[in-house]
Structure 1
Amino acid sequence: MIVHAREKWAGRVVLVVLMLVTILPFVSLFVTALHEPGTYPRGLEWPETPHWGNFVLAFQSANMPALLASSFLIELGVVPIAVLIATLAGFALGHLKPWGSGAVFIFFLLGLTLPFEGIITPLYFQVRELGLLNTRWAIILPLIGLFMPFAVTWMRAHFVTMPQDLSEAARVDGATTWQLFWRIHVPLSVPAISSLAILLFLWTWNQFLLAIVLVNDPEKRTMAGALGAFQGRYGTDIPLLCAGSLLILTPTLIIFLIFQRQFVSALMQGSLKG
Protein backbone atom coordinates (compact mmCIF):
# COMPACT_ATOMS: atom_id res chain seq x y z
CA MET A 1 0.00 0.00 0.00
CA ILE A 2 2.86 2.39 0.83
CA VAL A 3 4.54 1.73 -2.54
CA HIS A 4 1.22 2.25 -4.32
CA ALA A 5 0.67 5.56 -2.51
CA ARG A 6 4.17 6.74 -3.43
CA GLU A 7 3.62 5.88 -7.08
CA LYS A 8 0.29 7.70 -6.99
CA TRP A 9 1.81 10.88 -5.55
CA ALA A 10 4.81 10.66 -7.87
CA GLY A 11 2.45 10.47 -10.83
CA ARG A 12 0.56 13.53 -9.60
CA VAL A 13 3.78 15.50 -9.13
CA VAL A 14 4.90 14.65 -12.66
CA LEU A 15 1.52 15.72 -14.06
CA VAL A 16 1.65 19.02 -12.15
CA VAL A 17 5.16 19.72 -13.41
CA LEU A 18 4.15 18.96 -16.99
CA MET A 19 1.09 21.17 -16.62
CA LEU A 20 3.21 24.07 -15.36
CA VAL A 21 5.71 23.64 -18.20
CA THR A 22 2.82 23.70 -20.69
CA ILE A 23 1.07 26.71 -19.18
CA LEU A 24 4.18 28.82 -18.58
CA PRO A 25 4.61 29.97 -22.24
CA PHE A 26 0.98 31.13 -22.35
CA VAL A 27 1.38 33.00 -19.07
CA SER A 28 4.51 34.65 -20.46
CA LEU A 29 2.63 35.71 -23.62
CA PHE A 30 -0.24 37.12 -21.57
CA VAL A 31 1.98 39.11 -19.20
CA THR A 32 4.10 40.45 -22.08
CA ALA A 33 0.98 41.49 -24.00
CA LEU A 34 -0.03 43.79 -21.11
CA HIS A 35 3.14 45.88 -21.27
CA GLU A 36 3.35 49.28 -22.92
CA PRO A 37 3.54 49.03 -26.74
CA GLY A 38 7.05 49.44 -28.11
CA THR A 39 8.78 48.23 -24.93
CA TYR A 40 10.89 45.11 -24.41
CA PRO A 41 9.56 43.32 -21.30
CA ARG A 42 11.86 41.11 -19.29
CA GLY A 43 10.74 37.78 -17.92
CA LEU A 44 7.37 37.46 -16.21
CA GLU A 45 7.37 40.89 -14.58
CA TRP A 46 3.82 42.17 -14.18
CA PRO A 47 3.51 45.73 -15.59
CA GLU A 48 2.73 48.58 -13.21
CA THR A 49 -0.05 49.71 -15.57
CA PRO A 50 -1.53 46.85 -17.60
CA HIS A 51 -2.32 47.96 -21.15
CA TRP A 52 -5.48 45.97 -21.86
CA GLY A 53 -5.98 48.10 -24.95
CA ASN A 54 -3.20 46.15 -26.66
CA PHE A 55 -5.69 43.41 -27.42
CA VAL A 56 -8.13 45.89 -28.97
CA LEU A 57 -5.32 47.51 -30.97
CA ALA A 58 -4.06 44.14 -32.19
CA PHE A 59 -7.62 43.09 -33.10
CA GLN A 60 -8.15 46.23 -35.15
CA SER A 61 -4.68 46.37 -36.71
CA ALA A 62 -4.77 42.78 -37.93
CA ASN A 63 -8.36 43.17 -39.23
CA MET A 64 -9.40 40.17 -37.17
CA PRO A 65 -13.05 40.05 -38.36
CA ALA A 66 -11.91 39.43 -41.94
CA LEU A 67 -9.35 36.88 -40.78
CA LEU A 68 -11.95 35.04 -38.70
CA ALA A 69 -14.30 34.87 -41.69
CA SER A 70 -11.49 33.58 -43.94
CA SER A 71 -10.41 30.97 -41.40
CA PHE A 72 -13.94 29.64 -40.96
CA LEU A 73 -14.43 29.44 -44.74
CA ILE A 74 -11.23 27.40 -45.02
CA GLU A 75 -12.34 25.22 -42.10
CA LEU A 76 -15.69 24.56 -43.80
CA GLY A 77 -13.86 23.59 -46.96
CA VAL A 78 -11.37 21.25 -45.28
CA VAL A 79 -12.84 19.57 -42.21
CA PRO A 80 -16.22 18.16 -43.44
CA ILE A 81 -14.76 16.83 -46.72
CA ALA A 82 -11.67 15.36 -45.08
CA VAL A 83 -13.71 13.69 -42.33
CA LEU A 84 -16.19 12.23 -44.85
CA ILE A 85 -13.49 10.80 -47.12
CA ALA A 86 -11.48 9.46 -44.18
CA THR A 87 -14.55 7.81 -42.63
CA LEU A 88 -15.49 6.10 -45.88
CA ALA A 89 -11.90 4.97 -46.52
CA GLY A 90 -11.40 3.87 -42.92
CA PHE A 91 -14.60 1.81 -43.03
CA ALA A 92 -13.50 0.12 -46.25
CA LEU A 93 -9.94 -0.61 -45.10
CA GLY A 94 -10.73 -1.48 -41.50
CA HIS A 95 -14.02 -3.34 -41.72
CA LEU A 96 -14.84 -4.42 -45.26
CA LYS A 97 -11.18 -5.27 -46.01
CA PRO A 98 -11.36 -5.74 -49.80
CA TRP A 99 -8.54 -7.32 -51.79
CA GLY A 100 -5.42 -5.17 -51.65
CA SER A 101 -6.53 -3.21 -48.58
CA GLY A 102 -3.28 -4.09 -46.79
CA ALA A 103 -1.17 -2.54 -49.54
CA VAL A 104 -3.37 0.56 -49.61
CA PHE A 105 -3.03 0.92 -45.85
CA ILE A 106 0.77 0.73 -46.11
CA PHE A 107 0.58 3.44 -48.75
CA PHE A 108 -1.28 5.68 -46.31
CA LEU A 109 1.24 4.88 -43.56
CA LEU A 110 4.04 6.04 -45.84
CA GLY A 111 2.13 9.27 -46.27
CA LEU A 112 2.50 9.92 -42.54
CA THR A 113 6.25 10.33 -43.07
CA LEU A 114 5.76 13.07 -45.68
CA PRO A 115 6.56 16.51 -44.20
CA PHE A 116 4.76 19.59 -45.45
CA GLU A 117 8.10 21.34 -45.91
CA GLY A 118 9.34 18.62 -48.27
CA ILE A 119 6.58 19.12 -50.82
CA ILE A 120 5.94 22.86 -50.58
CA THR A 121 8.00 23.69 -53.69
CA PRO A 122 6.37 21.20 -56.12
CA LEU A 123 3.00 22.00 -54.52
CA TYR A 124 3.51 25.68 -55.28
CA PHE A 125 4.12 25.02 -58.98
CA GLN A 126 1.19 22.62 -59.19
CA VAL A 127 -1.19 25.10 -57.57
CA ARG A 128 0.12 27.81 -59.88
CA GLU A 129 -0.54 25.66 -62.96
CA LEU A 130 -4.11 25.13 -61.75
CA GLY A 131 -4.57 28.88 -61.42
CA LEU A 132 -5.38 28.68 -57.72
CA LEU A 133 -2.59 30.83 -56.28
CA ASN A 134 -3.78 33.55 -53.91
CA THR A 135 -7.15 31.86 -53.42
CA ARG A 136 -8.48 29.92 -50.45
CA TRP A 137 -8.62 26.80 -52.64
CA ALA A 138 -4.82 26.87 -52.63
CA ILE A 139 -5.05 26.06 -48.92
CA ILE A 140 -8.19 23.91 -48.86
CA LEU A 141 -7.35 21.35 -51.53
CA PRO A 142 -3.75 20.62 -50.44
CA LEU A 143 -4.78 20.34 -46.80
CA ILE A 144 -7.47 17.77 -47.60
CA GLY A 145 -4.86 15.63 -49.36
CA LEU A 146 -2.16 16.14 -46.74
CA PHE A 147 -4.52 15.26 -43.90
CA MET A 148 -5.64 12.00 -45.53
CA PRO A 149 -2.82 9.70 -44.32
CA PHE A 150 -3.46 10.50 -40.66
CA ALA A 151 -7.24 10.77 -41.00
CA VAL A 152 -7.64 7.44 -42.81
CA THR A 153 -5.27 5.71 -40.38
CA TRP A 154 -7.24 7.15 -37.44
CA MET A 155 -10.60 5.95 -38.76
CA ARG A 156 -9.24 2.57 -39.86
CA ALA A 157 -7.92 2.00 -36.34
CA HIS A 158 -11.46 2.55 -35.09
CA PHE A 159 -13.32 0.42 -37.62
CA VAL A 160 -10.89 -2.48 -37.38
CA THR A 161 -12.02 -2.97 -33.76
CA MET A 162 -15.72 -3.08 -34.60
CA PRO A 163 -17.13 -6.62 -34.13
CA GLN A 164 -17.86 -8.52 -37.33
CA ASP A 165 -20.85 -10.19 -35.65
CA LEU A 166 -22.66 -6.87 -35.73
CA SER A 167 -22.25 -6.57 -39.48
CA GLU A 168 -23.15 -10.20 -40.09
CA ALA A 169 -26.38 -9.80 -38.12
CA ALA A 170 -27.26 -6.72 -40.17
CA ARG A 171 -26.49 -8.59 -43.39
CA VAL A 172 -28.87 -11.36 -42.33
CA ASP A 173 -31.59 -8.74 -41.86
CA GLY A 174 -31.01 -7.59 -45.44
CA ALA A 175 -28.86 -4.49 -44.85
CA THR A 176 -26.85 -3.23 -47.80
CA THR A 177 -23.25 -2.05 -47.44
CA TRP A 178 -24.38 1.58 -47.41
CA GLN A 179 -27.03 0.90 -44.77
CA LEU A 180 -24.47 -1.02 -42.75
CA PHE A 181 -22.16 1.97 -42.86
CA TRP A 182 -24.63 4.81 -42.40
CA ARG A 183 -27.18 3.32 -39.98
CA ILE A 184 -24.97 1.12 -37.79
CA HIS A 185 -21.29 2.00 -37.90
CA VAL A 186 -21.47 5.79 -38.20
CA PRO A 187 -23.64 6.22 -35.05
CA LEU A 188 -21.22 3.96 -33.16
CA SER A 189 -18.26 5.97 -34.48
CA VAL A 190 -19.34 9.42 -33.31
CA PRO A 191 -16.54 9.74 -30.69
CA ALA A 192 -13.84 8.83 -33.22
CA ILE A 193 -15.31 11.05 -35.93
CA SER A 194 -15.77 14.04 -33.63
CA SER A 195 -12.23 13.69 -32.28
CA LEU A 196 -10.83 13.57 -35.80
CA ALA A 197 -12.86 16.66 -36.71
CA ILE A 198 -11.44 18.50 -33.68
CA LEU A 199 -7.86 17.59 -34.62
CA LEU A 200 -8.34 18.64 -38.24
CA PHE A 201 -9.98 21.88 -37.12
CA LEU A 202 -7.03 22.73 -34.88
CA TRP A 203 -4.43 21.80 -37.49
CA THR A 204 -6.20 23.78 -40.21
CA TRP A 205 -6.60 26.83 -37.98
CA ASN A 206 -2.92 26.75 -37.05
CA GLN A 207 -1.70 26.10 -40.61
CA PHE A 208 1.04 28.62 -41.29
CA LEU A 209 3.37 27.37 -44.03
CA LEU A 210 0.88 26.73 -46.82
CA ALA A 211 -0.95 29.98 -46.06
CA ILE A 212 2.08 32.25 -46.40
CA VAL A 213 3.56 30.46 -49.43
CA LEU A 214 0.45 29.91 -51.53
CA VAL A 215 -1.62 33.00 -50.63
CA ASN A 216 -0.36 36.57 -50.82
CA ASP A 217 -3.46 38.30 -49.50
CA PRO A 218 -3.44 38.06 -45.68
CA GLU A 219 -7.25 38.31 -45.60
CA LYS A 220 -7.52 35.04 -47.57
CA ARG A 221 -5.25 33.11 -45.21
CA THR A 222 -5.85 31.26 -41.99
CA MET A 223 -5.50 33.18 -38.73
CA ALA A 224 -2.05 31.69 -38.11
CA GLY A 225 -0.95 32.48 -41.65
CA ALA A 226 -2.06 36.07 -41.27
CA LEU A 227 0.21 36.35 -38.25
CA GLY A 228 3.11 36.52 -40.71
CA ALA A 229 1.78 39.79 -42.14
CA PHE A 230 1.05 41.09 -38.65
CA GLN A 231 4.59 40.22 -37.58
CA GLY A 232 6.02 42.03 -40.58
CA ARG A 233 4.16 45.16 -39.52
CA TYR A 234 4.70 44.95 -35.77
CA GLY A 235 7.73 42.66 -35.59
CA THR A 236 9.54 45.01 -33.23
CA ASP A 237 6.51 45.67 -31.02
CA ILE A 238 6.68 42.63 -28.75
CA PRO A 239 3.56 43.40 -26.61
CA LEU A 240 1.34 43.87 -29.67
CA LEU A 241 2.77 40.74 -31.27
CA CYS A 242 2.01 38.72 -28.14
CA ALA A 243 -1.51 40.17 -27.98
CA GLY A 244 -2.12 39.18 -31.60
CA SER A 245 -0.78 35.68 -30.97
CA LEU A 246 -3.14 35.20 -28.03
CA LEU A 247 -6.10 36.38 -30.08
CA ILE A 248 -5.25 33.80 -32.73
CA LEU A 249 -4.88 31.02 -30.15
CA THR A 250 -8.13 31.81 -28.31
CA PRO A 251 -10.60 30.17 -30.77
CA THR A 252 -8.65 26.89 -30.82
CA LEU A 253 -8.56 26.84 -27.04
CA ILE A 254 -12.31 27.45 -26.85
CA ILE A 255 -13.02 24.66 -29.35
CA PHE A 256 -10.87 22.21 -27.43
CA LEU A 257 -12.45 23.10 -24.09
CA ILE A 258 -15.95 22.66 -25.52
CA PHE A 259 -15.25 19.29 -27.13
CA GLN A 260 -12.63 17.89 -24.77
CA ARG A 261 -15.00 15.20 -23.47
CA GLN A 262 -15.59 13.81 -26.97
CA PHE A 263 -11.86 13.83 -27.64
CA VAL A 264 -10.97 12.03 -24.42
CA SER A 265 -13.86 9.61 -24.97
CA ALA A 266 -12.47 8.56 -28.34
CA LEU A 267 -8.99 8.07 -26.95
CA MET A 268 -10.31 6.00 -24.04
CA GLN A 269 -12.51 3.99 -26.36
CA GLY A 270 -9.51 3.15 -28.53
CA SER A 271 -7.35 2.18 -25.56
CA LEU A 272 -10.04 -0.07 -24.08
CA LYS A 273 -10.65 -1.82 -27.38
CA GLY A 274 -6.92 -2.15 -28.01
Structure 2
Amino acid sequence: MRGPRASTWIVAVPMMALALATIYPLVFTANVAMKTRHDYILDRFSPAGSLNWDNVVTAWTSAGMARYFVNSLIVVAASVALLLLFGSMAGFALSHLRFRGSRALFLGCLAALFIPFQVIMVPLARTMADAGLIDTYPGLVLAYVAQFLPFTIYLMASYYSGIPREIVDAARIDGNTVYGVFRRIMLPMGSPALLSVGILDALFCWNDVLIALLMMPSAQHRTLMVGVTSLRGQYSSDIPTFASGVLIAAVPVLVVYLVFQRQIADAVTAGSTKG
Protein backbone atom coordinates (compact mmCIF):
# COMPACT_ATOMS: atom_id res chain seq x y z
CA MET A 1 0.00 0.00 0.00
CA ARG A 2 2.91 2.35 0.63
CA GLY A 3 3.96 2.29 -3.00
CA PRO A 4 0.69 3.58 -4.53
CA ARG A 5 0.22 6.13 -1.72
CA ALA A 6 3.76 7.45 -2.14
CA SER A 7 3.32 7.78 -5.91
CA THR A 8 0.01 9.61 -5.36
CA TRP A 9 1.64 12.14 -3.05
CA ILE A 10 4.53 12.60 -5.47
CA VAL A 11 2.01 13.79 -8.07
CA ALA A 12 -0.40 15.53 -5.70
CA VAL A 13 2.08 17.78 -3.88
CA PRO A 14 3.51 19.47 -7.01
CA MET A 15 -0.02 19.85 -8.40
CA MET A 16 -1.21 21.54 -5.20
CA ALA A 17 1.81 23.84 -5.25
CA LEU A 18 1.09 24.71 -8.87
CA ALA A 19 -2.57 25.38 -8.04
CA LEU A 20 -1.61 27.70 -5.17
CA ALA A 21 0.91 29.52 -7.35
CA THR A 22 -1.84 30.05 -9.94
CA ILE A 23 -4.58 31.13 -7.53
CA TYR A 24 -2.47 33.43 -5.34
CA PRO A 25 -1.96 36.24 -7.93
CA LEU A 26 -5.72 36.46 -8.50
CA VAL A 27 -6.45 36.51 -4.75
CA PHE A 28 -3.74 39.14 -4.19
CA THR A 29 -5.11 41.29 -7.04
CA ALA A 30 -8.67 41.07 -5.67
CA ASN A 31 -7.42 41.97 -2.19
CA VAL A 32 -5.51 45.03 -3.48
CA ALA A 33 -8.52 46.14 -5.53
CA MET A 34 -10.62 46.27 -2.36
CA LYS A 35 -8.17 48.59 -0.54
CA THR A 36 -7.88 52.34 -0.52
CA ARG A 37 -4.64 53.99 -1.63
CA HIS A 38 -3.83 54.80 1.99
CA ASP A 39 -4.33 51.19 3.14
CA TYR A 40 -2.25 49.87 0.26
CA ILE A 41 0.67 52.20 1.06
CA LEU A 42 0.58 51.21 4.74
CA ASP A 43 0.55 47.46 4.10
CA ARG A 44 0.09 45.96 0.68
CA PHE A 45 -0.06 42.35 1.86
CA SER A 46 -2.58 42.61 4.70
CA PRO A 47 -6.20 41.55 4.09
CA ALA A 48 -8.58 44.33 3.11
CA GLY A 49 -10.62 45.57 6.03
CA SER A 50 -13.83 45.78 3.98
CA LEU A 51 -15.12 45.36 0.46
CA ASN A 52 -14.41 48.73 -1.14
CA TRP A 53 -15.90 48.75 -4.66
CA ASP A 54 -14.98 52.38 -5.36
CA ASN A 55 -11.82 51.35 -7.20
CA VAL A 56 -13.74 48.96 -9.44
CA VAL A 57 -16.30 51.67 -10.23
CA THR A 58 -13.50 54.13 -11.02
CA ALA A 59 -11.76 51.65 -13.33
CA TRP A 60 -15.05 50.81 -15.05
CA THR A 61 -16.15 54.40 -15.63
CA SER A 62 -13.32 56.93 -15.39
CA ALA A 63 -10.59 54.65 -16.78
CA GLY A 64 -12.73 53.58 -19.75
CA MET A 65 -12.83 49.86 -18.97
CA ALA A 66 -16.52 49.72 -19.91
CA ARG A 67 -15.72 50.87 -23.46
CA TYR A 68 -12.78 48.47 -23.72
CA PHE A 69 -15.02 45.65 -22.50
CA VAL A 70 -17.58 46.33 -25.24
CA ASN A 71 -14.83 46.51 -27.87
CA SER A 72 -13.53 43.10 -26.80
CA LEU A 73 -17.01 41.58 -26.87
CA ILE A 74 -17.63 42.82 -30.41
CA VAL A 75 -14.29 41.66 -31.77
CA VAL A 76 -14.28 38.29 -30.00
CA ALA A 77 -17.86 37.43 -31.01
CA ALA A 78 -17.25 38.26 -34.68
CA SER A 79 -13.87 36.50 -34.76
CA VAL A 80 -15.14 33.29 -33.15
CA ALA A 81 -18.16 33.16 -35.47
CA LEU A 82 -15.94 33.40 -38.56
CA LEU A 83 -13.36 30.99 -37.16
CA LEU A 84 -15.99 28.34 -36.46
CA LEU A 85 -17.64 28.80 -39.84
CA PHE A 86 -14.47 28.60 -41.93
CA GLY A 87 -12.74 26.13 -39.60
CA SER A 88 -15.61 23.63 -39.62
CA MET A 89 -16.04 23.83 -43.40
CA ALA A 90 -12.32 23.41 -44.04
CA GLY A 91 -12.06 20.65 -41.42
CA PHE A 92 -14.84 18.70 -43.11
CA ALA A 93 -13.28 19.17 -46.55
CA LEU A 94 -9.81 18.10 -45.44
CA SER A 95 -11.01 15.09 -43.47
CA HIS A 96 -13.71 13.59 -45.76
CA LEU A 97 -13.28 15.05 -49.24
CA ARG A 98 -10.52 13.94 -51.52
CA PHE A 99 -9.28 16.50 -54.02
CA ARG A 100 -5.97 17.39 -55.59
CA GLY A 101 -3.71 19.13 -53.10
CA SER A 102 -5.81 18.30 -50.02
CA ARG A 103 -2.89 16.62 -48.28
CA ALA A 104 -0.55 19.53 -49.04
CA LEU A 105 -3.19 21.98 -47.85
CA PHE A 106 -3.56 20.14 -44.54
CA LEU A 107 0.20 20.07 -44.06
CA GLY A 108 0.27 23.78 -44.83
CA CYS A 109 -2.23 24.37 -42.01
CA LEU A 110 -0.01 22.36 -39.68
CA ALA A 111 3.04 24.36 -40.74
CA ALA A 112 1.19 27.63 -40.10
CA LEU A 113 0.78 26.63 -36.46
CA PHE A 114 4.53 26.96 -35.96
CA ILE A 115 4.87 30.46 -37.42
CA PRO A 116 5.10 33.08 -34.63
CA PHE A 117 3.02 36.18 -35.09
CA GLN A 118 6.16 38.34 -34.77
CA VAL A 119 7.36 36.92 -38.09
CA ILE A 120 4.32 38.16 -40.03
CA MET A 121 3.62 41.23 -37.90
CA VAL A 122 5.25 43.84 -40.16
CA PRO A 123 3.86 42.60 -43.52
CA LEU A 124 0.43 42.15 -41.92
CA ALA A 125 0.43 45.72 -40.60
CA ARG A 126 1.50 47.12 -43.97
CA THR A 127 -1.15 45.09 -45.80
CA MET A 128 -3.86 46.18 -43.40
CA ALA A 129 -2.73 49.81 -43.63
CA ASP A 130 -2.84 49.71 -47.45
CA ALA A 131 -6.37 48.29 -47.24
CA GLY A 132 -7.46 50.97 -44.77
CA LEU A 133 -8.24 48.42 -42.06
CA ILE A 134 -6.00 49.75 -39.29
CA ASP A 135 -7.97 50.95 -36.25
CA THR A 136 -11.18 49.27 -37.42
CA TYR A 137 -13.17 46.36 -36.07
CA PRO A 138 -13.06 44.41 -39.37
CA GLY A 139 -9.28 44.78 -39.50
CA LEU A 140 -8.76 43.26 -36.06
CA VAL A 141 -11.31 40.53 -36.74
CA LEU A 142 -9.54 39.56 -39.97
CA ALA A 143 -6.19 39.54 -38.15
CA TYR A 144 -7.57 37.19 -35.51
CA VAL A 145 -9.10 34.91 -38.14
CA ALA A 146 -5.83 34.76 -40.04
CA GLN A 147 -3.86 34.02 -36.87
CA PHE A 148 -6.09 31.36 -35.29
CA LEU A 149 -7.72 29.73 -38.33
CA PRO A 150 -4.98 27.07 -38.82
CA PHE A 151 -5.45 25.94 -35.22
CA THR A 152 -9.23 25.77 -35.68
CA ILE A 153 -8.95 23.86 -38.95
CA TYR A 154 -6.53 21.36 -37.44
CA LEU A 155 -8.74 20.56 -34.46
CA MET A 156 -11.93 20.35 -36.52
CA ALA A 157 -10.26 18.13 -39.13
CA SER A 158 -8.96 15.88 -36.35
CA TYR A 159 -12.44 15.58 -34.88
CA TYR A 160 -14.22 15.02 -38.18
CA SER A 161 -11.72 12.36 -39.20
CA GLY A 162 -13.06 10.22 -36.33
CA ILE A 163 -16.55 10.18 -37.90
CA PRO A 164 -16.93 7.05 -40.07
CA ARG A 165 -16.85 7.72 -43.79
CA GLU A 166 -19.79 5.35 -44.25
CA ILE A 167 -22.08 8.00 -42.70
CA VAL A 168 -21.03 10.52 -45.32
CA ASP A 169 -21.39 7.96 -48.12
CA ALA A 170 -24.87 7.00 -46.93
CA ALA A 171 -25.92 10.64 -46.86
CA ARG A 172 -24.63 11.15 -50.41
CA ILE A 173 -26.53 8.06 -51.59
CA ASP A 174 -29.70 9.54 -50.08
CA GLY A 175 -29.32 12.49 -52.43
CA ASN A 176 -27.54 15.05 -50.25
CA THR A 177 -25.05 17.37 -51.83
CA VAL A 178 -21.69 18.06 -50.20
CA TYR A 179 -23.20 21.14 -48.59
CA GLY A 180 -26.21 19.10 -47.43
CA VAL A 181 -23.93 16.52 -45.81
CA PHE A 182 -22.04 19.28 -44.03
CA ARG A 183 -25.16 21.09 -42.83
CA ARG A 184 -27.32 18.07 -41.92
CA ILE A 185 -24.72 15.55 -40.75
CA MET A 186 -21.35 17.04 -39.92
CA LEU A 187 -22.43 20.21 -38.14
CA PRO A 188 -24.76 18.42 -35.64
CA MET A 189 -22.23 15.66 -35.01
CA GLY A 190 -19.43 18.18 -34.66
CA SER A 191 -21.22 20.42 -32.16
CA PRO A 192 -19.13 19.21 -29.16
CA ALA A 193 -15.92 20.03 -31.03
CA LEU A 194 -17.32 23.37 -32.19
CA LEU A 195 -18.14 24.31 -28.61
CA SER A 196 -14.70 23.31 -27.36
CA VAL A 197 -12.77 25.00 -30.16
CA GLY A 198 -14.99 28.08 -29.93
CA ILE A 199 -14.17 28.46 -26.24
CA LEU A 200 -10.45 28.19 -26.90
CA ASP A 201 -10.61 30.67 -29.79
CA ALA A 202 -12.58 33.09 -27.62
CA LEU A 203 -9.95 32.86 -24.88
CA PHE A 204 -7.13 33.38 -27.38
CA CYS A 205 -8.78 36.49 -28.82
CA TRP A 206 -9.82 37.84 -25.42
CA ASN A 207 -6.35 37.49 -23.90
CA ASP A 208 -4.46 38.85 -26.91
CA VAL A 209 -2.46 42.04 -26.49
CA LEU A 210 0.07 42.16 -29.33
CA ILE A 211 -2.31 41.87 -32.31
CA ALA A 212 -4.85 44.24 -30.78
CA LEU A 213 -2.15 46.77 -29.92
CA LEU A 214 -0.88 46.64 -33.50
CA MET A 215 -4.27 46.86 -35.17
CA MET A 216 -6.05 49.25 -32.76
CA PRO A 217 -3.70 52.16 -31.95
CA SER A 218 -6.38 54.66 -30.88
CA ALA A 219 -7.72 54.76 -27.32
CA GLN A 220 -11.33 54.62 -28.52
CA HIS A 221 -10.93 51.18 -30.14
CA ARG A 222 -8.71 49.51 -27.56
CA THR A 223 -9.64 46.04 -26.43
CA LEU A 224 -9.85 45.17 -22.76
CA MET A 225 -6.38 43.67 -22.42
CA VAL A 226 -4.75 46.60 -24.19
CA GLY A 227 -6.73 48.93 -21.94
CA VAL A 228 -5.39 47.12 -18.87
CA THR A 229 -1.81 47.63 -20.03
CA SER A 230 -2.49 51.34 -20.52
CA LEU A 231 -3.78 51.63 -16.96
CA ARG A 232 -0.32 50.88 -15.59
CA GLY A 233 1.01 54.20 -16.83
CA GLN A 234 -2.19 56.14 -16.24
CA TYR A 235 -2.63 54.94 -12.65
CA SER A 236 0.96 54.18 -11.68
CA SER A 237 0.45 55.94 -8.34
CA ASP A 238 -2.98 54.40 -7.76
CA ILE A 239 -2.29 50.67 -7.62
CA PRO A 240 -5.73 49.67 -6.24
CA THR A 241 -7.43 51.18 -9.30
CA PHE A 242 -4.97 49.44 -11.60
CA ALA A 243 -5.63 46.16 -9.76
CA SER A 244 -9.35 46.73 -10.24
CA GLY A 245 -8.81 46.97 -14.01
CA VAL A 246 -6.84 43.73 -13.96
CA LEU A 247 -9.63 42.10 -11.97
CA ILE A 248 -12.27 43.23 -14.45
CA ALA A 249 -10.27 41.67 -17.29
CA ALA A 250 -9.58 38.43 -15.40
CA VAL A 251 -13.06 37.64 -14.08
CA PRO A 252 -14.67 36.77 -17.48
CA VAL A 253 -11.77 34.43 -18.31
CA LEU A 254 -12.01 32.79 -14.89
CA VAL A 255 -15.75 32.26 -15.27
CA VAL A 256 -15.27 30.68 -18.70
CA TYR A 257 -12.62 28.32 -17.34
CA LEU A 258 -14.78 27.26 -14.40
CA VAL A 259 -17.93 26.71 -16.48
CA PHE A 260 -16.35 25.11 -19.56
CA GLN A 261 -13.27 23.40 -18.13
CA ARG A 262 -14.29 20.00 -19.48
CA GLN A 263 -14.84 21.34 -23.00
CA ILE A 264 -11.49 23.12 -22.86
CA ALA A 265 -9.74 19.90 -21.86
CA ASP A 266 -11.50 18.02 -24.67
CA ALA A 267 -10.39 20.64 -27.20
CA VAL A 268 -6.77 20.53 -26.03
CA THR A 269 -6.64 16.71 -26.36
CA ALA A 270 -8.72 16.47 -29.55
CA GLY A 271 -5.74 16.43 -31.87
CA SER A 272 -4.11 13.50 -30.05
CA THR A 273 -7.22 11.33 -29.70
CA LYS A 274 -8.96 11.75 -33.05
CA GLY A 275 -7.87 10.50 -36.40
Q: Normalized against structure 2, the TM-score is what?
A: 0.88
How far does residue 86 in structure 1 lie from its aligned partner after superposition?
0.6
Distance 1:14 1:104, change over 3 A: same
- Residue 150 of structure 1 pairs with residue 151 of structure 2: yes
Q: Distance in 2 between matches of 1:270 and 1:128?
A: 36
How far does residue 255 in structure 1 lie from its aligned partner after superposition?
2.7
How far does residue 271 in structure 1 lie from its aligned partner after superposition?
6.0
- Residue 34 of structure 1 pairs with residue 2 of structure 2: no
- Residue 83 of structure 1 pairs with residue 84 of structure 2: yes
How far does residue 49 in structure 1 lie from its aligned partner after superposition?
5.6
The AA in structure 1 aligned to 2:204 is: W
The AA in structure 2 aligned to 1:192 is: A
Q: Distance in 1 between matches of 2:152 and 2:45?
A: 39
The 10-residue stretch of structure 1 (257-266 or 129-138) with the greater mean CA deviation from structure 2: 257-266
- Residue 12 of structure 1 pairs with residue 16 of structure 2: no
How far does residue 56 in structure 1 lie from its aligned partner after superposition?
1.6
- Residue 140 of structure 1 pairs with residue 141 of structure 2: yes
2:63 maps to 62
The 10-residue stretch of structure 1 (4-13 or 238-247) with the greater mean CA deviation from structure 2: 4-13
Q: Does the CA-based 8 Å contact 1:68-1:223 persist in structure 2?
A: yes
Q: Does the CA-based 8 Å contact 1:198-1:256 persist in structure 2?
A: no
The 10-residue stretch of structure 1 (246-255 or 47-56) with the greater mean CA deviation from structure 2: 47-56
State the number of aligned residues: 274
Distance 1:69 1:234, change over 3 A: same
Q: Distance in 1 between matches of 2:44 and 2:107?
A: 48
Distance 1:95 1:203, change over 3 A: same
Provide, for residues 108-137 of structure 1, a one-character-per-residue CA deviation record: whole Å limited to 9, x for no partner: 111111212222222222111111222222
The 10-residue stretch of structure 1 (59-68 or 185-194) with the greater mean CA deviation from structure 2: 59-68
Provide, for residues 65-113 of structure 1, a one-character-per-residue CA deviation record: whole Å limited to 9, x for no partner: 3222211111232110111101111111122232221111111111111
Provide, for residues 170-196 of structure 1, a one-character-per-residue CA deviation record: whole Å limited to 9, x for no partner: 233333222221111211111111111
How far does residue 201 in structure 1 lie from its aligned partner after superposition?
0.9
The AA in structure 2 aligned to 1:11 is: V
Q: Normalized against structure 1, the TM-score is what?
A: 0.89
Q: Does the CA-based 8 Å contact 1:34-1:54 persist in structure 2?
A: yes
1:111 maps to 112
Q: Does the CA-based 8 Å contact 1:219-1:226 persist in structure 2?
A: no
Q: Distance in 2 between matches of 1:13 and 1:163?
A: 42
Q: Does the CA-based 8 Å contact 1:112-1:149 persist in structure 2?
A: yes
Q: Percent identity?
A: 32
2:245 maps to 244
Report SS of the residue matched to 1:56.
helix
Q: Mark the runs of 5 or more structure 1 residues left unpaired by the alignment.
A: none
The 10-residue stretch of structure 1 (3-12 or 200-209) with the greater mean CA deviation from structure 2: 3-12
Distance 1:270 1:120, change over 3 A: closer
The AA in structure 1 aligned to 2:34 is: L
How far does residue 272 in structure 1 lie from its aligned partner after superposition?
5.6
The 10-residue stretch of structure 1 (129-138 or 76-85) with the greater mean CA deviation from structure 2: 129-138
1:234 maps to 235
Q: Mark the runs of 5 or more structure 2 residues left unpaired by the alignment.
A: none
How far does residue 160 in structure 1 lie from its aligned partner after superposition?
1.5
Task: Calculate the aligned-residue CA RMSD, in Å.
Answer: 2.4
The AA in structure 2 aligned to 1:194 is: L
Distance 1:41 1:15, change over 3 A: farther
Q: Does the CA-based 8 Å contact 2:155-2:267 persist in structure 1?
A: no
Q: Does the CA-based 8 Å contact 1:136-1:221 persist in structure 2?
A: no
Q: Does the CA-based 8 Å contact 1:191-1:266 persist in structure 2?
A: no
Q: Does the CA-based 8 Å contact 2:109-2:153 persist in structure 1?
A: yes
